[in-house]
């Protein structure tokens, strides 16, 4: 797919409107990411183009799912992205196992610490160590201890501490594993991460 066509597609999908649309676009976040949002409405052909876009620019496909796990897993199953990161994971244990089985990285944010999110903590407890990531989703989803304030990068340590407790693993092990996993998911990261 020509670069200009990829850019046109990304722009069109990014500006297609609606809450429940699949969006594939060069991420407006970090330069080493592509972002895909999957909702209840399926837009034909998007998963193939999103996977092609990710492969064409050698970037991971970043997927954010909100209340649409069946659709998301179906769409991802139809695509062929080489590296998939489930951003801000909100699924349960079964979804986590399926994502890990497919080789996706599963990233947890501060909302894993919220009292109502026991299902996310159960999911975090079963994710293989080589598939787990941690993020801030800054400025959103501050850990429970700081809930109501803007999230910031340093707060990822609170999420890591919660994950270590949930998984009954030393925090140093999770720090090392998530840093290594981040370098594998995002090869453009410098070695100091």
All structural domains of the chain, each given as residue ranges with its CATH number in brackets, are 3-185 (3.20.20.140)
Can you give the pLDDT of all 193 residues of the chain as single tens digits?
445 555 555 555 444 443 333 344 333 444 444 445 544 444 445 566 677 777 777 788 888 887 888 888 887 887 767 889 999 999 999 999 999 999 999 999 999 999 999 999 999 999 999 999 999 888 999 999 999 999 999 999 999 999 999 999 999 999 999 999 999 998 877 665 5
Within 10 angstroms of residue 128's Cβ, the number of other Cβ atoms is: 13
Half-sphere exposure at residue 29, Cβ-oriented, CA atoms within 13 angstroms: 20
Helix, coil or strand: residue 105: strand
| Both structure tokens of 64 | 């954010």
The pLDDT tens digits of the residues spanning 108-133 come to 999 999 999 999 999 999 999 999 99
Helix, coil or strand: residue 63: strand
The pLDDT tens digits of the residues spanning 73-92 come to 887 887 767 889 999 999 99
Q: Report the C-alpha gap between 165 and 89 in whole angstroms.
A: 18
DSSP-derived secondary structure letter, 89: -
- Which pLDDT belongs to residue 97? 97
Classify burial at 183, counting beta carbons within 10 Å of its beta carbon; exposed 0-12, middle 13-18, buried 19 or more.
middle
């Amino acid at each position: 797919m020509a670069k200009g066509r990829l850019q046109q597609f990304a722009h069109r999908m990014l500006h297609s409107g609606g809450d429940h649309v699949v969006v594939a676009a060069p991420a407006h976040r970090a330069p080493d990411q592509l972002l895909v949002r999957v909702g209840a409405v399926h837009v034909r052909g998007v998963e193939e183009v999103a996977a092609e876009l990710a492969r064409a620019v050698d970037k991971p496909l970043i997927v954010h799912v909100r209340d649409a796990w069946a659709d998301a897993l179906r769409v991802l199953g139809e695509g062929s992205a080489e590296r998939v990161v489930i951003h801000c994971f909100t699924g349960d244990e079964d979804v986590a196992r399926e994502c890990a089985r497919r080789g996706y990285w599963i990233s947890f944010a501060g909302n894993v610490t919220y009292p109502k999110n026991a299902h996310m903590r159960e999911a975090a407890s079963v994710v293989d160590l080589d598939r787990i990531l941690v993020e801030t989703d800054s400025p959103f989803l501050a850990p429970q201890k700081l809930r109501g304030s803007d999230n910031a990068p340093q707060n990822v340590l609170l999420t890591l501490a919660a994950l270590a407790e949930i998984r009954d693993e030393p925090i140093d092990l999770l720090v090392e594993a998530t840093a290594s996993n981040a370098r594998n998911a995002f090869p453009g990261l410098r070695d100091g991460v």
